[in-house]
Each structure stands twice: as structure tokens, then as C-alpha cells.
Amino acid sequence: MNKNEDPKLGEECGVFGMYDLDGEDVASSIYYGLFALQHRGQESCGIAVSETDGPLRNVSTVKGMGLVNEVFNADNLGKMKGDIGVGHVRYSTAGASIAENTQPLVLNYIKGTLALAHNGNLTNALALRQDLEEGGAIFQTTIDSEVIAYLIARERLKAGNVETAVKEAMKKIRGAYSLVIASPRKLIGVRDPYGFRPLCIGKRDNAYFLASESCALDTVGAEFVRDVEPGEIVAITSTGITSDKSLAAPNKGRCIFEYIYFARPDSYFDGTCVHTSRLTAGRILAQDHPVEADIVVGVPESGNPAAMGYAMESGIPYGTAFIKNSYVGRTFIKPKQSSRESSVMVKLNVLREVVQGKRVVMIDDSIVRGTTSARIVKMLKDAGAKEVHVRISSPPFLYPCYFGTDVPSRDQLIAADHSVEEICRMIGADSLGYLDIQRLSELIGGDEGYCRGCFSGNYPVDPPKEDIRGEYEK
């Protein structure tokens, strides 16, 4: 990527699992579930299915680089026979973006098979990996998910069932993880003790689902049952659902940025509607950073609900100023560019008639390095906007994230070394206001059980002593 580019933040992935107790094939439903989670990862995807009444090591797997509708088709889906399976969409924050790192991971071992899909980042992956390698493990990938899979497989050799093996593995790993695991006869859902990453349970007729977001359940016509709780291990078998919550941490650490940016607005996490959270953020911005203006606009997509909230609270009309090219994702080809071209201009265009001669309030979800914000402000002013007042629906990024979000190191964060006034001048805005960190909890109904480490430097779990993000090769 061009070092001058400032892409939207990425989140590691989305996971989806299904067990049809009537024995029907699940591959097509998993495909549609992944399609609904495409926003969580656009680099690679995969599905692994098996038959619970079939041979132990007969897992059908299709994985590849690219979007869900690029990797899968009617032919390869039709050949995937099985009533239990897991799926994954990936955006890399740990491990290279290469075919070998696509998920789900499928392990064949003495107890059968294990298909695993992981969302999150471990903070002690390097130490665990070294220990496993010294014990003879041979790794095929550079992702921390394989460390989890090996630990579970190793624990399963001495555990009475896979749930116990998962629990013992959880005692060794640190950091963020939501897991969906298919063993030969069980579908397992796991959420780390702090609940960094979301996971929920759904049901359709006699089939059960596990998904990163509730919107994926809607897509396959499943009823939302409940969230998997932080620290919970859920096992779905032919006889029903069992649960173990004994590893839950006393304090929760849900990622607040799921509500601000990552999740689809039609998803619900732990009882909170994402769309409502973003409306609330906009209302707070209007209360704390009012300005005289003619129109409020959002930067698609996550900026739009916050812009609506700002407009409702301030009484300033809401408008659509940006047209987004829906066919451009994170993976689109970036040829050698002249200084006049950028990914921002490829993805967005301004409706001149909407902003010309007007004082504009522009709402976005974050500022990372500042280059994207500067380009968008310039686009608005080039289209005739008289003033551009930028409002950000999150606090300033001051620290990196080690739990599955690619917030970069401090030296790449514009807010780490510049005041709000300096950033305002650097991006060419007429004024700039961020969401007050003290009001973050209002986005989730006043609940304090969330992680705001990237804004405050206070993490629910001790961060690694060195920045482990990226590839694990020595």
C-alpha cells in the first residue's frame, strides 16, 4: 500500500457456524451468513463442513483469497456435503495476507478433526507458538489462530470432551478471541473472558447458528436467541445446548469500536443496537461541539447514522453529500498513481449541488493518520462548500490496539503528537470536534464494561511488551 494512503481501519474477521440437527447440508446457509459479514473481512474467506454421522476425518473445505462471491459458486458449494460447519471472512491484523493464512483451519489428529474460525488477536501468541514448536509442532501459517487450534488439539488428548479441551486452552491464551469450532459431533462457540469480540446464537427450525453479528442471522432467516457471554463456552449437540461460564472475567472489555465503526448498523451486541449507538454519538457531538451551519453530512457508511443524530439534536438539516462506489473494497487494485489520484477519490464523489455555497458539518467515525480526512475536506471545498466543520464520533486515537483492530503504532497516529487545533489546520477544516472520552459509555446505555484502550492507553488485559502485530516469522 502507498505509504501516503490512509485506509479505513480494518477488523480481523467474521465467523459463522451452523449445525442442522435434521441432517441437512449447511454450506449454502454458511455462504449467505458470510456474505452478511463481508464488511468484517475482504481479503479471504472459507467454509469447512462435515457429516456428523459420517467418517471422522472427512471434512470438505473450500478457501481462497478474495470476496465471498468470488471464492464460492454454485458448483463448489454444491459439492460440500455436511450438516455441521464453520465459515470465516478475514482481514489480516496478525499474519500476512496470503492463501496459507485463510480460515477455517482444519486439523486432523488422533481424536478426529477440528475446524476452527477465529476473530481477534492474542497477546501471548509468540510465546505460545515458541513453546509448541519446541514440543514438535510444525506450523503451516503465520496466524495466531493456528496456535489456538494446536492448543485445543493437544488438550483434547487428555480431556474427556472437546469442551474441556477448549477450556484448558483458554487458560493459556491471552487477548481477544471469539471462536467457532466444529468437532465431529459438536458445534462450539467461545468468547474470551472479557468479551472483546462479539458472538451470538441463532436458531432456525431444527438448526443452530453461531455468528459474529446478529445481522448474519437475519440473512439466513434465523431467530436471534442470545449473545454468547464473555468467558462462555457454548456446546451445541444433537441433545441441545450446554454452557460453561466459569472463566468469565469480573470486568468486561467489549470493543467500543464495534459500535462506532466495525459492525453493520442493523446488528445488536449485548442488548444494544449499533444504529442507535451511532445516533447517540451524533447527538453527543451536537451537544458538545455545536456550530452554525446549513447542512450535516456523513462520510459513508458509519458516519451517516452519527450525522443523522447530529442533525436531529442540532436542528440543522441532514443531507447526502457523498456518493460511494459500492463495488470498491479494501482489496481493489491500486496501480501506480499520480499525485492527483487516491483511493478516496475512487471510493467517494461529492454532490456539488448539495454543498455548494453552504456551511457543512461533516461527520466521520475516526481520524487515524489524517490524510484521508484532509482529502475529504478538500473534496468538499473544491465542490464549493463555504465552510467545513469536522466532527468525529470517537475520541482521538492515542494508542495502538492489540486485540484485533489495526490501529497502528503511536508514531503513525496524528493525534498522538498533535493537538486538536493542529489537526484541524492539518486537515484543512474550519473547526474540529471529537467525541468526549468521558461520554463513550453513553453509546452503550451507560455500561462501563468496554475497552477504550486505543483512546486512553488503559487496556483490560496487559498489552504485549513488544508490538506483535504483523507476521510472526522471525
CA distance 390 to 179: 38
Interaxial angle between packed helices 371-382 and 420-427, expressed in degrees from 0 to 180 and rounded to the nearest 10? 50
User: In this structure, what C-alpha cell is assigned to residue 350?
Assistant: 461529492
Q: Is 414 exposed, middle or buried (0-12, 13-18, 19+ CB in 10 A)?
A: buried
Contact (Cβ atoms closer than 8 angstroms) between residue 163 and residue 233: yes
Strand runs (DSSP E) across 205-353, as ranges? Answer: 207-211, 223-227, 233-237, 240-244, 254-255, 268-269, 272-273, 295-298, 322-324, 348-350
Amino acid letter, residue 371: T
Residue with cell 473534496: 379
Listed in sequence order, the residues at least 6 apart from 451 whose beta carbon sits closer than 8 Å to its beta carbon are 194, 196, 253, 254, 255, 256, 403, 459, 460
Contact (Cβ atoms closer than 8 angstroms) between residue 279 and residue 307: no
3: region left, alpha or beta (phi > 0 left; psi from -120 to 50 alpha): alpha
Interaxial angle between packed helices 303-314 and 274-288, expressed in degrees from 0 to 180 and rounded to the nearest 10? 50
Among residues 303, 201, 258, 177, which one has the least CA distance to residue 444?
A: 258
Residue 245 CB neighbour total at 10 angstroms: 14
Among residues 167, 130, 353, 338, which one has the least CA distance to residue 248?
A: 167
DSSP 85-97: EEEEEE--SBS-S
Among residues 169, 256, 222, 163, which one has the least CA distance to residue 450?
A: 256
Annotated catalytic residue 255: no
User: In this structure, what C-alpha cell is assigned to residue 41?
Assistant: 473481512
Q: How far is CA 402 from the centre of its chain?
A: 13
Strand runs (DSSP E) across 315-467, as ranges? Answer: 322-324, 348-350, 359-364, 387-392, 431-434, 450-451
Catalytic residue IDs: 13
